[in-house]
Each structure stands twice: as structure tokens, then as C-alpha cells.
Amino acid sequence: RNRLEQGLSRWDRGSEILRAFDAQPITQAVDLRLAALGAWLAGKRDLAGVVSAEIPEQTRATAQKLVNELRTKARNVVTHWEEMLSDKQLLGLAFDGTTDIGKGQIEQAYEWNVRQNRIRSEGDRDGEHPSLDAEDAPLLLRLWQRLRGPITDESEKPIRLNHLFVDEVQDHSPIELTMLLDLVGGAENRSATLAGDFAQRMLEDGDTRAEFQWSHFLEDLGLPAQTLEPLKVSYRSTEPITKFARAVLGPYAHDAEPVTTRSGPGSAASTSPTCARPRVSSSTRSSSSRPPRPAIRTRPTRATPCTSRPHAHRTSSGASPATPRRPSWKRRLARNSRRWLGGSALALALSGVLLGTSTCQPKFAGPRLVGARSETPGVRIGDVPVALHADGRSQRALDGMVRELALRGLAVQDSPTATTRVDLVTRGSAGESYRVEVTPGKILIEGEGPEGTFYGAMDLLQRLQPYGKGSALVPFASVLERPLFSYRGMHLDVARHFFAPAEIERLIDVFASLRINTVHLHLSDDQGFSLLLPRDQQLATRLPNGEPRAYTPEEIANLVAFAAARFVTIVPEIDVPGHTRSWLAAHPELACPLGEKTFELATKGGIYPEILCAGNPEVRTFVKARIRDVAELFPGKYLHLGGDEVRTDRWKKCPKCQARGRWLRAEAADRAHAKDRAQKTSGKNELAAKAVPLETRLYDDFVSDMAQSAIRAGKIPVGWDEARDVEDGPQVLQVWRDETDASKLLAANTPVILSPMARTYFNQKN
């Protein structure tokens, strides 16, 4: 964007072209935004929210040329590196003879990136676009060094550091450190300070503490000449804590007794050390030689207290403190590393073992008073007027934000002349991504679509901090969010535990504030059927006085509209063929003909044997009619058909079910026989088909029949994971059993909703 602004600033109407670029979805890849801008400039397409303008021909030609140049660069970043990381031969050549990455790791990198390439290619077809992860940066920079030469700055000059300081080195990979060390000096004269403690590393690489040796580690990095300095002075822990820690660690504690600067909880917690200019050891000198003069130039100045946390000082016997000088080298290193390495600042929290030497003589003062900040670190709302601005597609987001603020006792005082401005902007017709910017005097909520703007407003509300009665503070922030999952749901069992519509609405408000976009209503079970269907009111559960304990069509329509206003979709579930004792209580004729005249609703939990008769064609006709009824009440694209915990005891005794099962087995055997003849497998498939139990055939056939009925009603059928092997069954599976391997379903291209019982059911104690 900066390049566009610079290139168009002196051209007539250039600012309008820049506005056209800014008007596009912020979450879209830069290459696609540039492509859309180029097509708009050529008159081949319109841009949402952009009014076509008369652009002078010379300005248009300049802009087109600039867009083409920038598109080449934008495409190169993703496609070039994606090809590099997917070329095993090229990876092998790049790292041949190096020590920072081995052949096994090259193989891992290749396998991983080839799979990522395939995922990205499939994502392109779904409207997603490739992107690079921040974790790719070290490997990409190292590849650049091996294949193209030194890393350069913006002026194309090679980056060269006089001295490199890396803290927490135990959490850096060899490839990261090698990449950084290649930025330092020449190959024969590299100066570096590495600080860390390998006993504290976050990731294990096969070494144990007993096996690890600093000297071997440094030799592998190409640093044969070393000075090792153990850091023994603790500035954070008191003496009692240090002794206790050593007792706990036992044989794993460091051999040297640590020195603490604090004797107990009452000691001064803050220190104000005065640091000398560091004296660093060159890697070309032996460890016994005197350290050379500083590799980093600093101007001599009077001693100045350190503003950062004091670092360890040299503790060799007889060492006298060096002349205090200003330690600006640390700040310069951090600042330069941020500029050169794209924001990767070097932290200066030292611990463990220090390589190279530095001197620092701490001066311990008493506790210091720190004055309170006079400025407000955010934007106040509630007790101060704000100027609200929302475009047409952002109105629901604004209504939701005002409504939520009112629930928290915060009134929104809208005033066009207020100094604080709140803007809600929606860029497109659909999309859940959003951006929130909170800066002094301004709050911007920008959504990819109306739902994105709404979620941005909810995100903002989560950040509110109390600021006195009737007032809250929105902390300064810059947020860019894109959802990882398209389906983010909550499940309510309203068959066993009936919720009044007002209670469901309150829950939907909570769910929407957490950016949950789906509410799954479990409407039928052994204990109740919670829908009053216009074409079969008898099915609804009744109270003792005869009144229905079920939702009317009007109540469902109101709930659907209430949820839609908050970008929440309601998914209904009628569970068949099991968990259907409520169906039999209303219609005993739906049961297997085993002599019962009536059935009662279940009053306790459990899995009951009384289920629908799978062998009776009239039962199937009845259930399909109810599927159509439910589909008419809920406009969402999903309809859940259950299919879980089906006890087949009664099917084994039912003559209709057994007759249907034998017919299904014979059909399957005939198909398997034909397959055997085609494959010349000597009856193997036929034998396998005949071995499948009749009840399994019945279950698969019934569930498949109902799934196809839902599809004909215009819905995507969803089922519990028991239906995973059903041919032509539910198109989406909801995994609730912990033993089900969802990865296998995904590998078979089956969409999955994850709700494993042990981790997601609120009534599970574990």
C-alpha cells in the first residue's frame, strides 16, 4: 500500500485509486486485491463500495504498470517459496554439507510442505488462498542464504552485524542460529554472545541434560573458539527460594552454589545497576586470550542506570568492576535486529550460561516509587458521548453492540460532535473475518461481511475493562481475526430438559457474544418430543393438564429470527431410529409388532430397547413426512437425524425386521457375487457380505433412507458417528464418542463436527 501511495501521490486522481484498493476485503491476499484493482482500472469489473470515476489516461496507465509490478512481487513471495519447499532435490542441494539441518529433517520438511501444497491447492478451489506462516521465516531466510547469498536490507545491501546477542538460546533451532550467525562479520571473524540454559528448553530434541555439552553445541554451529561464563547471580529469586529449588532438583541442580541478591521476601525488589560497556570475545581468539576491544562502537559517556532488567556480571575471583559506561549497545542491537529481521526483537533476559564476556557492577538501591500513568491507555465509553457511524450492512452489528452494552449498564450517548468516533464498516456481502482498531479518539470495526462486523463488535465488548460506575475502558488494540472453523456450535438437549424460548434466547445472546454461529437443538428422545408439528400435533409431549410441552411453529419462527439477527443458525435434530420411545408413546403402531398396546415416556436416562420398526414400510413413510415437516420450520441448511445408541434387541424378534433384513442380505450377496466374478476372487466378497448381521443391514438401510429423504427436502443430513459406515448416509458426521478416530473420517473426505464427550459435554465430571 505504501508503494502504491508513493507511486500515485503526484498523479491526478491517484488518491481515488488508492481508495479503491483500500475498499477491498482486508483479509484477502494482496495479490488478489491487486488483481481486482487492475481489472477495475481496465474497466473489466466493479468493486463493491467503490464509485467508478473518470481517471485520466496517463494516471490509469501509470497505475496499471505499478499494479503489474507489485503483483509480480506479491505472487513471488508465496509461489516461489512454496515451490522451493516442495522440491526435495533443491532442498538437498541447498543444505548439502551443512550442519544446521540433516537429511532426515530435509525429508520431514519435504513431506510436510508437499502435503501443505496439496491442502492449499484444495483450499484454492474452496475460495481460500495460500499464505505463509510466521514459523516459515527462519527456514526461508536460511534457504535464501544458501541459494541466493546474503540477506539484504531494503536498499539491497547485505546485512552485516558487528556483534550478535541471542538470549534463551536453548529455544532456538540450529537452523535459526546458523541463519543469524551468517549475518555477523566475516566467516573468519564472527563475534557473538549466546545466553541460555538447556535444562529449561521448551522442546526436546533427543538430548538429555547429562548428554548436552556447550562446547559440542558451539562447534556444530561453527564457533570453535569460545569463552564460557556460568551465570551464578540470581536477581529475581530470594535465598530461601533458591535453596528450596536446589533441594527439589537434587542431582539436576547446577554444581555451583548460586548467589542471590535478595535474602528474603522483605528485600528490595527493584535494583538500579550501572553497567559498563561490554567487552566481547571474538570467535577467532582462544578462550584464554584477553578479550579485544568492543566490537560495537558506543560513544563514551557518563554512567547511566540501566532501564532494563540487570543482567549477570562476571564473577571470576579478583575481577574488578570496569569503568561504568552507558549500555546503549543493548538497545541498539534490539532496535537494529527489529529493523533488519522484520520485527524479531532480541530479548535480554539472561540466564544459564553466557558465552563471551561482559562486565556489570550492580548498585542496589531501595524500592523506587513509580508514578502512575497520567494518560488513559484506551478509549472510554458509557459516561462520555461518542459519534456512531455505521453503514447499511453494519446495522445489525451496531444494534448488537448497543444491546450488549446496555445489558452491562453502559449507555451509549450518540453525539455527532463527540471527540470519540466509533465506525462500523462492512466491506462485502458475506464473510466472518474482521479487524478492530482502537486508537486515541477512534474505534474502527471493519468486517469482511455483515457477520464479520458483528463478530468484531463482540470482540470489542470482550475487551472492555470497568472504569467506574457507568463507564468502561476499551484498551488500545489492533486485531485481525479470521475464524479457523466454519461451524462453531453449542448443543442444547431440549427433549430431556425443556428450555422455555426466553431461556434459549438468553443463551443465544451469550453464544453470539463468543462468536458461536450454530445452535444444535436436540428436539426428540425417549423422554420427550419438543415440537408441535402442524400435521401431527399428537407427537408433541404433553403436560399432565394436556397442554403441549413443546415449541409451537410461531415460537420456532421467533427463535430462528432471533438467532439470525445475531448470525446464529439453528440446527434441528430428530433422533431416529433409536431414542424414539416418545414416538411410540404417541404412535404405538410405529413399534415392532411384539404384542405391546401402549408405551410410556421414559422418565430416567439410559438407552431403551423400544425403537422404531425398521422392517415396516409404513413407519418409514411416517418418519419421512416428519422430516419434511421439520425441514419447513428451520431454514438452515443442516438437519440432524441422530442415529446413535440403537439397541436392536426387538429387531431380532420382529418378523417384519427379520424379513427385511434377509432381503437386504440377499441383495448384498448378489452384488458381492457379481463383484467376485469380475475380480475372480473365488467368493471372498460374497462370504463377507453374508457375514454382516441382519441388524447391521437394517440399521444402514434405515439411516440411508432417512438421509436421502432429508436431501430431497433440501437439507444436508447430519448424523452421529455411529452412522460412519452407512453407504449414502449422513453427509456430515458428528463425532461424540471418544473412541472414534475423526482423522480417518477426514482422510475419507467426510466433513466432521467434533464434540468428543469427555472434553465437550458440560455434564461430564472429567
98-117 per-position pLDDT tens digit: 767 777 777 777 777 766 65
Q: Which of 248, 250, 312, 247 is nearest to 278 (CA)?
A: 312
pLDDT-above-70 percentage for the chain: 76
pLDDT digits (tens, 9 = 90+) for 673-727: 898 888 888 788 888 888 899 999 999 999 999 999 999 999 999 999 999 999 9
- Provide the grid cell at 252: 539436576
What pLDDT does 666 receive?
93
Q: Tell me the angle at which helices 30-41 and 57-75 cross, rounded to the nearest 10 degrees.
A: 160
CA distances from 239 to 123, 233, 363, 364, 628 (A): 56, 11, 19, 16, 74
Contact of 40 with 46, CB cutoff 8 Å? yes
The residues, any chain, with a CB within 8 Å of residue 319's CB and separated by 6 or more, are: 359
Q: Cα dihedral angle (523, 525, 529, 530), rounded to 10 degrees?
A: -30
Q: What does the alpha-carbon distance between residue 638 and residue 624 come to, in Å, rounded to a whole number?
A: 16
CA distances from 226 to 221, 287, 314, 671 (A): 12, 5, 16, 75
What pLDDT does 443 receive?
94
Q: What does the alpha-carbon distance between residue 732 and residue 475 come to, in Å, rounded to a whole number?
A: 41
Q: Is the pLDDT of residue 633 over 70?
A: yes
- Provide the grid cell at 444: 474502527
User: What phi and psi values does residue 164 have, to the nearest 5 degrees?
Assistant: -115, 130
Residue 375 DSSP class: S
What pLDDT does 642 receive?
97
Neighbour-count burial of 489, counting CB atoms closer than 10 A to its CB (0-12 exposed, 13-18 middle, 19+ buried): buried
Contact of 710 with 627, CB cutoff 8 Å? yes
Contact of 731 with 717, CB cutoff 8 Å? yes
Q: Which of 546, 733, 540, 716 is nearest to 626 (CA)?
A: 540
- Provide the grid cell at 132: 505463509
Report the predicted TM-score, pTM, of the whole model to 2 decimal places: 0.54
Mean pLDDT of 263-273: 42
* CATH code of the region 378-481: 3.30.379.10
pLDDT digits (tens, 9 = 90+) for 172-216: 888 888 889 888 876 567 788 898 887 777 765 544 444 567 777
Please give the single-letter amino acid code of residue 482: R
In this structure, of 67-81, 189-203, 302-316, the range with the lowest mean pLDDT score is 302-316
pLDDT digits (tens, 9 = 90+) for 550-601: 999 999 999 999 999 999 999 999 999 999 999 999 999 999 999 999 999 9
DSSP 659-710: HHHHHHHHHHHHHHHHHHHHHT-TTHHHHHHHHS-HHHHHHHHHHHHHHHHH
Domain boundaries, the chain: 2-131, 164-202+217-263+276-292+309-314+326-360, 378-481, 494-662+693-749
What pLDDT does 325 receive?
40
Higher pLDDT, 627 or 384: 627
Pairing of strands 164-166, 192-196: parallel
Grid cell 478492530 is found at 436
What pLDDT does 83 receive?
63
In CATH, which superfamily holds the domain spanning 494-662+693-749? Glycosidases (3.20.20.80)
Q: Is the pLDDT of residue 366 over 60?
A: no
Q: Is the pLDDT of residue 127 over 70?
A: no
pLDDT digits (tens, 9 = 90+) for 336-348: 333 333 332 222 2
Residue 287 DSSP class: T
What confidence tier does 67 reach under pLDDT thresholds 50, 70, 90?
Answer: confident
What confidence tier does 246 reach under pLDDT thresholds 50, 70, 90?
Answer: confident
What confidence tier does 23 reach under pLDDT thresholds 50, 70, 90?
Answer: confident
Q: What does the alpha-carbon distance between residue 599 and residue 760 come to, in Å, rounded to a whole number?
A: 33
Give me Rg for the CA atoms of the chain.
34
What pLDDT does 226 receive?
75
Mean pLDDT of 51-79: 77
What pLDDT does 206 receive?
46
Q: Which helix (H) or strand (E) element contains residue 755?
A: none
